[in-house]
Amino acid sequence: MCSCDDGDAPKVFTDQFRRARAGWACEECPRRIQHGQWYVECRGLWDQTWQTYQICMRCWARQRAWSEVEGCHPPFGTLADSIQECILEETDVGRRYIKALRAHRAKLAHQILALETARRERYRLAGTAREAKRRQLAHLGSGI
């Protein structure tokens, strides 16, 4: 096991997949989350204060794979350092991490596909409802 510091666990924690309406900086890596890209928004209650973190999908998969392999959850912003430290200490960890990372990336691709499909269906239904309402309002004045 690695010696990464889990830090204080939050009393409340939620994570949600979102599609960026504005650009965000990923909390784990120097990459930028661009408008239209999927990311994960993590919210937690640490020491009576709410904090929000935006994480790109690449880092989200890395975080999940690492927690599966090592069982620890390093504080936000320290994932790369924790992975590097532990892989240098134990050689077997690297192989297990790569295997878990591939599995989580595949799982994440399926989740994104499901989110995209549901989103397209919502937009299609909303468009159909708008069109029906427009037609209904257009026929209101035809009997006058």
Rounded CA gap, 11 and 83, in Å?
25
Residue 8 forms part of a structural domain: no
Which domain covers residue 64, as residue numbers?
Answer: 13-143
What is the per-residue pLDDT for 118?
93
| Element spanning 122, H or E | helix 91-140
What is the per-residue pLDDT for 7?
60
Burial class (CB in 10 A: 0-12, 13-18, 19+), 9: exposed
**Count of domains for the chain:** 1
Look up residue 39 and give its amino acid: Y
Q: How confident is the model at residue 79 (pLDDT cuts 50, 70, 90)?
A: confident
Residue 5 forms part of a structural domain: no
Find all residues with CB under 8 Å of 26, minimum gap 6, and list them. 32, 33, 39, 54, 55, 56, 59
Residue 3 forms part of a structural domain: no
Residue 86 forms part of a structural domain: yes
Q: From 66, 78, 14, select the one nearest 40 (Cα to Cα).
A: 14
pLDDT at 20 over 70: yes
What is the per-residue pLDDT for 4?
59
- Which stretches of the chain are assigned E, i.e. beta strand? 13-19, 24-25, 32-33, 38-46, 49-56
Q: How confident is the model at residue 75 (pLDDT cuts 50, 70, 90)?
A: confident
Rounded CA gap, 111 and 118, in Å?
11
Q: How confident is the model at residue 33 (pLDDT cuts 50, 70, 90)?
A: very high
Residue 122 forms part of a structural domain: yes
Say whether 66 sits in a helix, a strand or coil.
Answer: helix
